[in-house]
Each structure stands twice: as C-alpha cells, then as structure tokens.
A and B are shown apart, each in its own frame.
Chain A
Amino acid sequence: MSNATLDGKSISSEDAYEKAAEILQAANFPLVAGLGADVAGAQAAILLAERLRGAFDHLASRDSLADLEVVRSAGIFVTTPNEARVRADLVLLVGPGLTGYWPAIFDRLALDKETVHGGKTKRRVLWVGAKRGEAKIEGVEVETIPATEAELPGVLAALRARVGGRPVTLPAAAAKKLDAAAEALKSARFGVAVWSAAGLDSLMVEMLQGMITELNATTRFTGVPIGGRGNATGVLQTSAWMTGFPPRTGFGRGYPEHDTWRFEASRLVESGEADAALWISAYSGEAPPWEDVDIPLITLGPPGSAPKHGLFIAVGKPGENYDAVEFAQETSSMVLRRASAPAGLPTVAEAIAAISAKFSEDLPC
C-alpha cells in the first residue's frame, strides 16, 4: 500500500514526490510550515525554503517566541532540569496545566526527594495559578498562590513587587500571603521557577524573569522553561545556527529576514502572500492552523493523518519510527532518540530529499 494520497485517494510515492515538486516549484512564494520534525528534518526543510526563496515557520513558534522575546529584549536566567533536580531547594511552578506540557515534570524534578547538592534539604514547592485540584503532587506539600488565568499577570506583578519591597494595593489577607511567598523566594538557596510559555505570554515571562533578576541580587534563582511541542526548541536552535534567526524567517529577497509578524504561517496563507504550503507535522499529525483557505498543500505527517484535501506523504515519527536528534525537555539538550518501533517509512529529511530530486534543473541547489 502506498503511503501517499491526493485528495484522500491513494497515489504512488513517486507520483506524490513528483506532484509535490511541481507544486512547490510553481509557487512564487511557498511556505514551509509546521516543521514538527527532528533536527535533520528541520535542516532539510529550512534549506528547501531557502532554495525556493520561500519562508518557514514552526507550529509552536508562538510559544518559543514568547520566551525568546524576553531573551532578546531583557535577558533570561535558565538552568537545566538536572540541575534543578539535584539543587533546587525551592521550586516555583507558574501557571496552569504544566503536566499537560510536560507529563514527567514532577518525577523529573524529583520534587518529593531531598536536594543533593548545595546541602541536603527537603524542597519547598510553591504553585502560582494552578488549576483547581491540580496542585496535588504525591509526597509533596504544595503551597498555592491562587490566581485564575485572567488574574495571573497581576498576581505575578504583585509577587515581583513584594520581592522588591515595593507596595501593592491588595486586600490585607492577599498581601500577607504574597509577602510570605516573597519571603520564601528570597530565602531560597537555589530557587527554580518552572513555566511553559504555551500557557503564558511574553509579558508574564518578562515579569517572572524580572523577579528572578531581582532575587539574584541576594541569592541564587533561575528558571526552567518548558519548550513548545513538535521539537520547537530543537528547530529554533537549528534555525539559529543555519540562518542566524529563529523560525518566522523568509528568503524572498535572497537572504534571511526574520519578522515575527510578516512570516507567521497563518498570516502568510490567509493574506494570500504564500501561494503554496508544505506542512510538516511528523510527531503528531497536527493540522495546519489556517482555515478555509484553498492553497496548494503538501502534508508530511505520520500515517493516518492525511487531510481530506491536498497531497499527503506519510513519514515516520521521529525517535519512534526512526533514529532522530531532537531537543529533550528532560535534559535541556540535543539528544539522539533511538527508534523504538522502526518502520519502513521515510524520514522527514528523506521525504524532502525525494521531493527536491524531482525539481527541474533550472532551480539553484
């Protein structure tokens, strides 16, 4: 059985690659998006975008950029989950739904265990803005600072103000609770805040990091960001060394230009600026975010994720169906994931190479 379909009907792989090459080469400004791929897949995709003088974006760019905007406007303190695991005597969890973004979070940070370095002590765990019923971790006494999603920015700002000894206009009971939390943060030896930009926005991350900067005036405090889905951090890193820039970068003028608004995938498609799209979502088969737009579309995804319309080519899941390098949340580093269930499916890089092999010769390499 072929692993490719056109408008839901099976076609041969050869025909699929041929057709994909036709679509991309005919476009004036093709978009390479999704980019849910391993490092080798991302490299192939970015090179393809450059060759076609198109643009590229990642499906979780919004989340990567929420953190990155803070890095490049103010700076950031970060550490690794390993270092938090062995050293963090206080862990500040920020925002709701953290286990959704990182299922192994509590186990990996060993919140129920004593610290190993910098002194052996029980950890304090604070959670600001947990969902109702969420702040329960086995073997851990979690101190909560309540905040709904709407209240979270204000509560973070108030907490930062109290850490810095600045006044806040809050009811006495709420202020007292915040003061106690601020005191806990300041008395930590090596405090670690954990957040997922997917659940916050740039201003909240900046507020949190501003507080961390102030805490470092007297003690040590840092953070563990939870990266975006679909190897967002790995693709961000790859994009940076290849082009100097993160995703949302275009090559239309013959050199890389980065603009978080101009090269956002949905906007490019919905405005009609992009006239063909290669959508890559090898980890999950997640569908493109744009709606009701009839654009020539090629999808690379795992078997079974074919959309009703357009061309679909099945690829393996990175690290599951084939050996793949990706950014690991548990180590904050690039790692090799050995295939746990090898399958006779092309890798993302192989699929892109097969498409590229069908381009006519007048396209520069």
Chain B
Amino acid sequence: MLTRLYGGHVVDPVNGVDGVGDLYFEDGRIVAPPEGRSADVEHDVSGHIVMAGAIDIHSHIAGGGVNTARLLLPEAHRAHRPRPANTPLSTAGWSTFETGRLYAQMGYTTVIEPAVSPHHALHAHLELADIPIIDKGFLTVLGNEDFLLSAFRDGATQDSVVDYIGATLEATRAIGVKCVNAGGVDAFKQNIRHFSLDDVVPEYGLSSREIFQTLQRAVNATKIRHPLHLHMNNLGLPGNVETALATIDSAQGLPLHLAHVQFYAYGTEGKNGFSSAAARFAEKINANKNVTVDVGQVMFADIVTISSDVMKQFNSLPGGRPKKGVIFDGDSNGLGVVPYSYRVSDFFNAVQWAAGLELFLLVDDPMQVFFTTDHPNGAPFTTYPEVFALLMSADKRAQYCSRLPADVLELTNLPALKREYSFYEIATMTRAAPRKLYGFEDRGQLGAGSVADIAVYKPQKDKAAMFRSAAYVFKDGNLVVRDGKVSHYTKGRTLRVRPEYDRKINSRLDKYYDGLYGLPRSMFEVQDAALPNADAFAEVPCRS
C-alpha cells in the first residue's frame, strides 16, 4: 500500500531538506516519488511540519531501576481514567504500556534505555518487550566489574577486552556500552564515599581516568557505532565542572559521549558556593568535536532519581524528597533510587534549570548536544514539549526567569542568551544527531529506504502544545497516532549490536563465573526461550 503525505513542510536535516514537499512510503519504508502510480492513501498535511520520528538517546524506561522506582513511589502515579475498550492496561499510571503510548503521542519512535546491569538484562528485555509502538534498546553498564578491572590491572591486551565487550553485548543483547562513575561503584563497596577522576580503586590500583580511557579505546576497537557512553565522577557536586573539563581533556581524541552534562555544569561562585559553569563547559564542548553530550535538563517537578552511580545516590539519601530510597549493591554494579522534587523557589534547583538551558544555547552545533532530561532524573519525558518551547522562545525563558530567586539570575548567563532554536535545529538534535550517535542507518531521516517512522505536527503559537500532541505519527508506515491520541497499537523492535569477537573468551568467562559465583554464566544470558517475542530484535550494523 502506497501512502502519500502531501503539502507538508518537510524538515529533514540529514538530507538538507527544509521546505514544502511530498513524502511517500510503502511496506514500512520511505520510497522515492513513484512514477506512473498514484497513492492508495493520501493525507493532506499542508500547513504541518513533517519530521522523521524522534529518537531519545538516554531515558530510563525499563529494567530493575525503573521498576524499583514504581514500587518505591506508589503515591506518585495513581491512575485516574477508566480504560477505553480494546487497549489493555492503557490506564495504568506508570507502566510499560503507558511509556510507549506517551512517547508515541509526542512523535518519538525510538528510545534507548541507558543503564542496564549485565546480570539484569533479561528483566530489562521483558519490560522493553512490553512497551508498545516504539523501537527501543539499552546500554549495558561496564567498568566496575572485577573481571574487567582485573584485566586492566593485569595489563590484558586490548583484543581480549574487545572480546569481553563483544561477549557481553551478545549475552545481554545491548546496543552499546555505558560506564558509570568508573571504578567508583566498586570503591563504594569498599566504603569510599567520594571518587574523582584520579582517585584509585583499592585492590586494583586503577584510577577512574585509566578505567574509562582503557574502556573507551576498547569500545572504539569493537567497531560498534556508539562510543563509550560515560557518566562521569562527582555528579551533582559544586565545582564539578572541573571534573568534566578534565574528562574532556582525557578523551584521547576518540569519540566519547558524556551523559546528562547539566549535572556537571556547576561552579562554586556566590554565597551558596554553587553557580552555573555552563559557559565554560560549553566552550570546551565546542572546541572538542570528538565529544558529544546530552543535557539532562531539569524541570520543576516531582521526580525520582534512578542511577547506577550508587555512591552518588547514597550521598543523596538525606536530601530525598520524600526522604526514602533504595540503595542496591549489585553484582559488580550498583543502583540507587531516590525521589526528589525540583522547586522553582529552591536556589540550587533554579541554578540547575538555568545551567541546562545555557548548555543547549551555548553549544553551537546541534549535532553535538542531545536533547534529554535524563528521564526521570531531571524531569519526566512528558515535559519534553515544554523544554522544546523554552529552546524555541527567549520570551518563554524570560517568563520562567521572572519566577526564579533573584540571586540565581546573577549566577547564570541565561537571561542574556537570545538564541532561539529553529525547527531545523530541533530536528537535528532529536533526529539527525541521534542517528549518527547510534549509527542507525534506517532511521532519523526521511530519505528513501529509511523506515517510515514519521511525526507530523501542526504548528501552533504554543510550541509545547504542538510537540505534546503530534497530529499524525506513523510507525513503520502504520498510522499509530492521530491528533495526539494513539489510534493503533503496534509492537516495536528491540535494537542491538553484534560486533565480531573471538569466542574463545566464552570458555574463560565460563570458568570465571564458575570459580567466583559457583554458577553457570548461562544463567545471566538472555536467551530466546525467555522472551515473549524473540524475533523482535533488529541489528544495528557495526563499522566495517
């Protein structure tokens, strides 16, 4: 069935398109305008903006962390609407089902969960399989496990580390590698409470810097497209911009992705010893093209922080809002879940909010800065439309600024920044740049051959309203959203990578598991028989 969207303003940065034109798709793929055939279905989208489906590169949507947060905060997600017919579990407040529905309604069609401990991969896949409509994938978390740290300490060859990463990606069916507070999670188990770039993990004699650098080189050598995704040390602490700048200086000229950098954009100026250092940070990012960042924007809302940086989460417990939390020392990994509430009247929260927007506005190239709230850590993903509106309007930012504590405005450059994002830049940041960051060949653009994941928005004065309710969303060519409401539920794919590696590593790993845990390693592998839809996987190609 050939479908034609006609008359819309197509915004497709990958192909340099920014103007009125028609779009054709058939059998789930975008096709070139066919000659001598008329479309079977036509949609008049004149006056609308047409983009590829949006891609979220970092959002905690599935796995043990999110599920713990659900159980920790039953008061936070009461449902309140009766269920319409024919949509099972469509009314649960915070569920896998709701995650797919709400993302789709905003025109998002691919979302990456950024932190899954290898031993909890199956749980994450079970949740992902239950999220309707969107495609998804996850990053597996490495860099605090004894196997790897011992290998680094003992001077293992890069090839053997590459094999280990390959085997782990295979066993967990992940799309890339994340490293969280490199070495710090292990150090916390040894009662270390603060861990910076040059602090050394006891027993291994490795600094955080050495760990992430060695891992960064090895990830690069696997030929997977996504560079090491790094959660740096000292998240949230005053003056931590120094850590961030030093990390960029240590990036070896190789690709490196720094996660939720707003949480590292802090100086120590002012009477509270806490200020925005976003300007310095942005300058550094602009000067280092091998580095990409996502912002982790804070919005004023009740949230819950979910992080594998268990040291940081433990230190956050006393400030929890409400004061409760889960601290999990996992297998060679960690997890902390602590609720919080960002308040416009809170000096620190207001600085955080401003610092995030400064980063968005001061990083020149929207290919280098990614749109995230580190859902749900900075804000729920449902606040994205409001953040888009803030990026697109200096007036709207001024309105917000008028509500901030006066002393905050003295410690940020935000009021002076008049830049306003265009639709083209928004599309670059949420479509073209994620496509490049994850090495997707089949999405993030509207050229022929791409999957027909398409979001159509009706321009309005209220940009937030426009992005909150897409006029049409097509997933694999199926109309799934009409006028901001899901009209048709589909099952998405789970995206993974499968780099080449020497399978000899498997017998070494089997022995290691047997010796250390007295358990077969296969217990932790994600196997087809465990999955409700084992054929839902799609492979993202590696570099050749």
Q: Which residues of A contact B (CB under 8 A)?
A: 39-40, 43, 47, 50-51, 68, 71-80, 82-83, 85-87, 108, 110, 116-119, 189-190, 216, 219-220, 222, 236-238, 240-246, 251, 253-258, 323, 325, 328, 330-336, 338, 364-365
Residue of A nearest to B328 (CB): A78
Task: Take A236-B71, A325-B530 as given contacts and tell me if A254 and B203 are in contact as well, using a CB distance cutoff of 8 Å.
Answer: no
25 contacts between A and B (CB under 8 A): A40-B532, A50-B88, A71-B71, A72-B74, A75-B72, A75-B326, A76-B327, A78-B328, A80-B119, A80-B330, A82-B119, A190-B189, A241-B67, A241-B126, A244-B79, A244-B92, A244-B94, A246-B71, A254-B83, A255-B91, A256-B92, A331-B119, A333-B122, A334-B120, A336-B529
Known: A75-B324, A219-B191. A364 touches B85 (CB 8 A): yes
Chain B residues, Cβ within 8 Å of A331: 119, 331, 519, 523-524
Question: Which of A73, A74, A238, A333 has the most chain B CB atoms inside 10 A of its CB?
Answer: A333
In B320-369, the 8 Å CB interface with A consists of 320, 323-332
The interface residues of chain B lying within 8 Å CB-to-CB of A238 are 126
Complex Cα distance A118/B122, Å?
28
Chain A CB count within 10 A is highest, among B79, B81, B329, for B329
User: With A87-B189, A237-B67, A241-B96 given, is the CB distance from A256 to B119 under 8 Å?
Assistant: no
B81 touches A79 (CB 8 A): no
**Shortest Cβ-Cβ A-B pairs, 9 listed:** A254-B82, A255-B91, A255-B79, A336-B530, A75-B324, A79-B329, A364-B85, A334-B123, A244-B94
Which residues from B are CB-within-8-Å of A334? 120, 122-123, 126, 530
- Tell me how far the C-beta of A107 lies from the nearest C-beta in chain B, rounded to whole angstroms: 8
Q: Is B386 an interface residue (CB 8 A)?
A: no
Give me the interface of B with A, judged by CB distance under 8 Å: 62, 64, 66-67, 70-74, 77-83, 85-86, 88-89, 91-98, 119-120, 122-123, 126-127, 130, 146, 188-191, 203, 314, 317, 320, 323-332, 516-519, 523-524, 527, 529-530, 532
Contacts of B518 in A (CB 8 A): 85, 108, 110
Residue contact A241 to B324, C-beta cutoff 8 Å: no
Q: How many A-B residue pairs have CB under 8 A?
A: 183
A61 to B119, CA, bound (A): 26
Whether A255 and B92, one on each chain, are in contact in the complex, defined by CB atoms closer than 8 angstroms, is yes
Query: What is the distance, in angstroms, from B543's C-beta to the closest C-beta of chain A?
Result: 32
Q: Which of A110, A190, A245 has the largest number of chain B CB atoms within 10 A?
A: A245
Contacts A241-B127, A244-B95, A331-B524; A323 near B529 (Cβ below 8 A): yes
A251 to B83, CA, bound (A): 9
Residue of B nearest to A237 (CB): B67
Q: Check if B82 sits within 8 Å of A189, measured CB to CB.
A: no
Contact of A336 among B62, B89, B527 (CB under 8 A): B527
**Which residue on B lies nearest to A236, using beta carbons?**
B71
Residue from A43, A74, A82, A118 within 8 A of B189 (CB atoms): A118
Q: Is the CB of B190 within 8 A of A189?
A: yes
Check B517–A245 contact: CB distance below 8 A.
no
Asked if B96 and A335 make an inter-chain contact with CB atoms under 8 angstroms apart, the answer reads no
A118 to B203, CA, bound (A): 7
Query: Contact check: which of B71, B80, B97 meets A68 at CB < 8 Å?
Result: B71
- Contact between A325 and B122 (Cβ–Cβ < 8 Å)? yes
Chain A residues with CB under 8 A of B191: 189-190, 219-220
- A219–B329 Cα distance when bound, in Å, is 14
Tell me which residues across on chain A come within 8 A of B127, comparing CB atoms: 241
Which listed residue (B71, B81, B324, B329) contacts A240, Cβ 8 A?
B71
Taken together as a complex, chains A and B put the C-alpha atoms of A328 and B314 apart, in Å, by: 26
Smallest Cβ-Cβ distance to A48: which chain B residue: B88
CA distance A71 to B72 in the complex (A): 6
Residues of chain A contacted by B529 (CB below 8 angstroms): 323, 336, 338
Given contacts A243-B95, A258-B74, contact A335 B516 (CB under 8 A): no
